Amino acid sequence: MELSNKTARELYAEVKANPARKRFGFGNKAILVNIDLQKAYTRTDLFKTAYETDPRQLEYVNTLAAKFRELNWPVVWTHVAYMESGEDAGIWGTRTDTPDSLQNIKFGSERSELDDRLVVDREKDVFYCKKMPSPFFETQLQSLCVWHQVDTVILTGGSTSGCIRAAAVDSLSRGYRTIVPEECVADKHESYHFANLTDLSLKYADVLDVQEVFEYLDGQKDGQK
C-alpha cells in the first residue's frame, strides 16, 4: 500500500489535474438522477444530519434539471423515507436508534421532504422513494433508463461517499457512462468527499466541473434545432 501525508483534497487535485486521465465521455442521451436532496440532508439550519459542500449546489442542480427538460430528457428525484416500524430499512437501520437515525426518516416527515429551493416539475419529472444507498436498488430506475434509451447517467445529490458512490458503481455496472458534476455533490466531511471523488474519478465515473456538463447539454440542444 502506498503511503502519503497528503490530504484527500490534495490527492483529488492531483488526479483532476492529470492530463493523461482517460474519460468515459458523454454518450448520445442522458438521464439526470438527483439523489436524496431532501431536508434531512440539505437543511443545515434544521437538522444535524445535513451538510453543505458547495453553497450553490442546489442552484446548479436546478439549472441541470431545466436544461434536461428543454431536451425532453428524463429528470429523476429520489428521497428516502421509512415506515413507523423502520423494518423497511432492514439491517441498515439497526446500528443506531436516535431521532436522527436513518430509519427514523418517516413518511410524511419534514426530514423526508425535498428541499424547498429545488425547482421540480410534478407532472414531468420522475420521483422515487428508495430504501438503500443506490437509486437502482429495487426501484424502476433501470426500466426508465431502458425506456428512454439513455447511455449516460448524470448524478447529483449526496452523500458523495454513500449514495452517490453506490449509484455510480451500479450505473457503471449496468453499462452506462456515468458523470458526476463536482459542484453538485456533497458530503459531511471534506475527507470523505474528496477521497470518494478521487476513487470515482479513477474507477467508476467522470467527475467534471458542472460548467462542462452545461456545455454538453447546450450542445445537444443546438443539435436538436
Residue with cell 444507498: 133
Residue with cell 474519460: 23
Supply the DSSP string of 11-30, one letter for each residue: HHHHHHH-TT-------S-E
Cis peptide before 159 (omega within 30 of 0): yes
Among 173, 168, 175, which Cα is nearest to 205's? 168
Q: pTM of the entire structure? A: 0.97
One pLDDT digit (tens) per residue for the chain, 225 residues:
989 999 999 999 999 998 788 899 999 999 999 999 999 999 999 999 999 999 999 999 999 999 999 999 999 999 999 999 999 999 999 999 999 999 999 999 999 999 999 999 999 999 999 999 999 999 999 999 999 999 999 999 999 999 999 999 999 999 999 999 999 999 999 999 999 999 999 999 999 999 999 999 999 977 676
CA dist., res. 68 & res. 71, Å (int): 5
CA dist., res. 13 & res. 23, Å (int): 16
> What percent of the chain lies above the pLDDT cut of 90?
95
| Active-site hit among 129, 145, 163, 184 | 163
Catalytic (active site) residue 129 = no
Among 66, 76, 139, 81, which Cα is nearest to 112's? 81
CA dist., res. 23 & res. 177, Å (int): 9
Supply the DSSP string of 142-210, one letter for each residue: HHHHHHHT--EEEEEEE-IIIIIHHHHHHHHHTT-EEEEEGGGEE-SSHHHHHHHHHHIIIII-EEE-H
Domains in the chain, start-ordered, CATH in brackets?
25-224 (3.40.50.850)
85-101 pLDDT tens trace: 999 999 999 999 999 99
